């Protein structure tokens, strides 16, 4: 395990007690929708779709379900460390009758490292990750050079990486790290907010505070 992996997690630790309903949801849908977090994944065995996108930090999954509904030809692996979020996602996926979403209740770094084959992903989305705004906590941010290198190793040549944040210092940090990594920026700096990107609850919370929202769209070098 590297220093980065010991230090960086893609979440704040705030697990609460799981309700009986959420526990039942996870148990009922485990076989159909959940991926084991410590096993290598053959994407062709999991998805009918040829193209698969990784979503890191799906929260309660409202945006995930909206994107999966709009893009039925894209498979989505949704990662979320908070079990209540995964349970809510599975409820929504099942209610919508979607077949192109799988979820993993785990942290991003070990899952990407251990479960995803090199050069296999069509893209990755990281929407509103924890900004760790205090200077002494900046090193805990998910987007760091070592993580960018790890993620790039799992993306196919030309695959996309779409990030969004409402914390300007983190946006500037993302821009600097990704520009220096194995990625090419598709714009000069930031991307105008795409109309197709669903509004997330974290984005709305930032907007309510008067924050600007920054989208970044990169492609992996060929």
Q: Which residues are catalytic?
A: 130
Give CA–CA dist 83/128, Å, rounded.
Answer: 18
Residue 125's alpha-carbon distances to 19, 29, 141, 164, 218, in angstroms, are 29, 24, 16, 8, 11
SS3 content of the chain, % helix, strand, coil (to 5): 40, 20, 40
Give the residue ranges of DSSP H helices in the chain: 3-7, 20-33, 43-46, 62-70, 83-96, 108-115, 145-154, 168-179, 201-208
Burial of 146 (0-12, 13-18, 19+ CB in 10 A): middle
CA torsion sign, 181 to 185 to 189 to 195?
negative
Cβ atoms within 10 Å of 166's Cβ, excluding its own: 22
């Amino acid at each position: 395990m590297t220093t980065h992996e010991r230090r960086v997690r893609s979440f704040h630790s705030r697990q609460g007690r799981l309700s009986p309903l959420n526990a039942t949801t996870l148990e009922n849908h485990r076989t159909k929708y959940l991926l084991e977090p410590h096993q290598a994944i053959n994407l062709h065995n999991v998805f009918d779709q040829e193209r698969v996108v990784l979503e890191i930090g799906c929260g309660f999954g409202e945006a995930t379900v909206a994107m999966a509904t709009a893009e039925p030809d894209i498979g989505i692996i949704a990662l979320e460390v908070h079990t209540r979020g995964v349970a809510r996602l599975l409820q929504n996926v099942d209610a919508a009758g979607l077949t192109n979403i799988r979820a993993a209740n785990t942290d991003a770094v070990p899952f990407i490292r251990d479960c995803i084959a090199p050069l296999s992903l069509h893209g990755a989305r990281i929407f509103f990750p924890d900004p760790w705004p205090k200077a002494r906590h900046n090193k805990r941010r998910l987007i760091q050079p070592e993580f960018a290198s790890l993620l790039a190793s799992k993306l196919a040549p030309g695959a996309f990486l779409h990030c969004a944040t409402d914390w300007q210092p983190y946006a500037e940090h993302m821009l600097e790290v990704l520009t220096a990594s194995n990625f090419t920026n598709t714009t000069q700096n930031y991307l105008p907010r795409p109309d197709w990107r669903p509004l997330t609850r974290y984005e709305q919370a930032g907007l309510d505070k008067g924050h600007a929202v920054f989208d970044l769209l990169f492609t992996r070098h060929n």
